[in-house]
Structure 1
């Protein structure tokens, strides 16, 4: 099943998967985490990937973000097929074309917020573009916290710093893995509001794995996985339509 936008206009594809299969283990212990997934992720769009535990949603994100290698099939980012790249080329692509936001923030405790935000650029030997850096910092509302270390920041502030780090290098696509999983409802709304703004105002492309229907309701599109396959899609979702779809797709026990 390849999902396409419902609008009549043709959208640019930021990343895609074609017949992705990911198998763990062998023989009786074999698990097919992905079972032939094909999907296009469109530029300038916010997509959520949902599904029960074990559905393959994190595996799909990891394969499309060049963090894992599929057993078969192809994934591409910006028209570049990941399977054709050597290790150094994959490292460069992850550094230059892909942004990451993780549930656990992944900030370095000994660095300030500003140093954490600019770390990917520093590792690449690049300086941040001053105007773009200022736009991102003001968008996440961390201007007054740049000199603070993670231990001096709230969970919401740390995750907003992680979001800024993902955006400051102007990646082609940002992958977010449960970005609100460790946050309370107020901080979650702050982070989701920023991610939404980054799509609407900056034209960013974001793909988010989440189990939270409230977070998913901020997106343009929700793709549902079950047993390693795409089984449903919603466009312009709201919380109620997401909950109804989740209920319909969840096996009834008893």
Structure 2
């Protein structure tokens, strides 16, 4: 185990799945969501996860983030193996080392934007570093909206609050589940540019599940799932390449040719 941890540190992996299998239901009605899948999430990179409906992409993200358990295999966040953690240890890891951005924003309506952004740190009994807080707020363009409650913000502004909230604790990795799914194209582009900037300028690691080829093109790489298996990967993707790959998966149900 020691050698595995050492190698993980050397190779710079923020998260990884090793031989992970996950099924829902039992007996004849069981559905295999992840089928002996292994995937590496590299530090300081923006990784998009794509695949046809039912391919297991959201399940993979939820398992990597510690939001769901696995039936077999291992999931790691940095040097920590999630399967060896107690419920409290897992909660601490999610609070201190993992950030989340969801399609539904998940803001508390009674709190201001500033209070929502600082909430994870407040729960952990920590105060934000003033300079870092200002940097994050500037990055999402919310300096003049900090006293507003969610009902006083547009959808795009609410999602920017959620992005700032995820980034503020400086987590090992941020998981974003369809972060632009409820936004118009302009607001969605603003969110994607922020995610891209947080990787380039702040060294953040981001994993994003999306069905949008244009969104995936902001990533450093795209991994494609089919029937619970990782079947293809595109480095430095373009929207056209992502779209062509998705069309191949949808039409043939098999792995496309490697470029």
* TM-score, scaled relative to structure 2: 0.93
Match runs of 1:49-60 below 5 Å: 49-60=49-60
Backbone CA RMSD of aligned residues: 1.0
Q: After superposition, give the CA deviation of every residue in 1:76-108 in whole Å (9 maximum; x if it has no partner).
A: 001100000000000000000000000000001
Gaps of 5+ in 1: 1-9
* SS of corresponding position for 1:76: strand
Q: What is the correspondence of 1:62-211 to structure 2 with a 5 Å cutoff? A: 62-211=62-211
SS of residue paired to 2:223: strand
Q: Distance in 1 between matches of 2:141 and 2:51?
A: 32
User: Match for residue 228 of structure 2?
Assistant: 228
Residue 250, structure 1, aligned to residue 250, structure 2: yes
Is 1:40 the counterpart of 2:40 in the alignment?
A: yes
Aligned counterparts of 2:129 and 2:252: Cα–Cα separation in 1: 52
Distance 2:11 2:35 in 1: 26
CA deviations over 1:30-69 (Å, ceiling 9, x no partner): 1000001101100000000001111000100111100000
Write the deviation string for residues 179-205 of structure 1: whole angstroms up to 9, x where unpaired. 000000000000000000000000000
Shift of 1:27: 1.3
SS in 2 for 1:88: helix
Task: Provide runs of 4+ in structure 1 moved above 6 Å.
Answer: none
For residue 14 of structure 1, what is the aligned residue in structure 2?
A: 14
Aligned residues: 244
Q: What's the offset of the Cα at 1:252?
A: 5.4
Distance (whole Å) between structure 2 residues aligned to residue 37 and residue 214 of structure 1: 26
Partner of 1:3: none
**SS in structure 2 of the partner of residue 21 of structure 1:** strand
Matched, 1:218 2:234: no
Residue 144 of structure 1 aligns to a residue whose secondary structure is: coil
1:251 aligned counterpart, secondary structure: helix
In the superposition, the TM-score normalised over structure 1's length comes to 0.95
What is the CA deviation profile of residues 159-195 of structure 1, one whole-angstrom value per residue up to 9, with x for unaligned ones? 0000000000000000000000000000000000000
* Separation of aligned partners in 2, 1:243 and 1:146: 38
